[in-house]
Amino acid sequence: MKDLPIGVFDSGMGGLSVLREMKKLMPKENYIYYGDSKNIPYGKKTIEELRSICIKIVDYFMEKRVKAVVIACNTATSAAVSELRSRYSIPIIGIEPALKPAVEKYEGGKIAVLATEVTLRERKFNELMNKYKDRAEIIKIPAPKLVTIVENGIVSGQEAEEAVMELFEGISVDEISSIVLGCTHYVFLKDIIKKVLGENIELIDGGFGTATNVKNILFNMNALNDSDKEGNIEIINTSDDKSKIDLSYKLLNI
């Protein structure tokens, strides 16, 4: 079981930011990354549609005999993690906006949460927000355009800068203590966000925390790969645009 791969999936290429953290922490593991760019954006789909999509993806992973599945997508986690855990016997590890560490570090401050529409309106996130609403002022900012930009391989330049500027029109950035990147795609735009909003703004994402959680779960299962060789990464993308694979490897190595 130890040498079986870990399945990681996302609506497209955003989850590569999580896989990157997992690879750093667990370099001996083998990975299969499933980028579902054909069905992007997940944030525009119904909960029922998302659950159906996620079940098909995990069924694919089960055929590949993975030892765990990581939902490297906040939107898919919100919509489907409970359903997936009830259907499959292997660990299903989700991700959620890193609001807890942001509040703990900036208690009493103003925290902006960038995420997709589905993540921001789903019960899972709103329960999380209600838990911390008395400890910080939390601003929800839907940012679907940033997903599209990253999917097109745009992680620098004027178009990306303008998209970030649009999100913060009418918001006093000086009053914001931190920004939670509540979508894995946004991690690839960290440099642009800092360029537009200022180097002092702190950006918080859940990638490292998710990678740590995966490692702990596999350790407790005695399922960590103990090979003396570096593991393999296989990338699959559902888009008809074959350049998505090359772009995925490029983003993985940024």
On the question of pLDDT at 61 being above 90, the answer is yes
Residues making up the annotated binding site for substrate are: 10-11, 42-43, 74-75, 184-185
Catalytic residues: 73, 183
Domains located in the chain, CATH noted: 6-95+207-252 (3.40.50.1860), 99-204 (3.40.50.1860)
pLDDT tier at 174, thresholds 50, 70, 90: confident
Structure confidence by residue, pLDDT tens digits, 95-128: 988 998 899 888 888 999 999 888 888 888 888 8
Cα separation, 93 vs 68, in Å, equals: 8
- Which residues on adjacent β-strands are paired with residue 176? 110
On the question of pLDDT at 214 being above 90, the answer is yes
pLDDT tier at 64, thresholds 50, 70, 90: very high
pLDDT tier at 42, thresholds 50, 70, 90: confident
Residues making up the annotated binding site are: 10-11, 42-43, 74-75, 184-185
pLDDT tier at 43, thresholds 50, 70, 90: confident
On the question of pLDDT at 254 being above 80, the answer is no
Q: Output the pLDDT for position 170.
A: 85
Average pLDDT over residues 187-196: 95
Structure confidence by residue, pLDDT tens digits, 11-36: 999 999 999 999 999 999 999 999 99
Structure confidence by residue, pLDDT tens digits, 65-102: 999 999 999 889 989 999 999 999 999 999 988 998 89
Q: Output the pLDDT for position 35.
A: 97
Cα separation, 214 vs 103, in Å, equals: 23
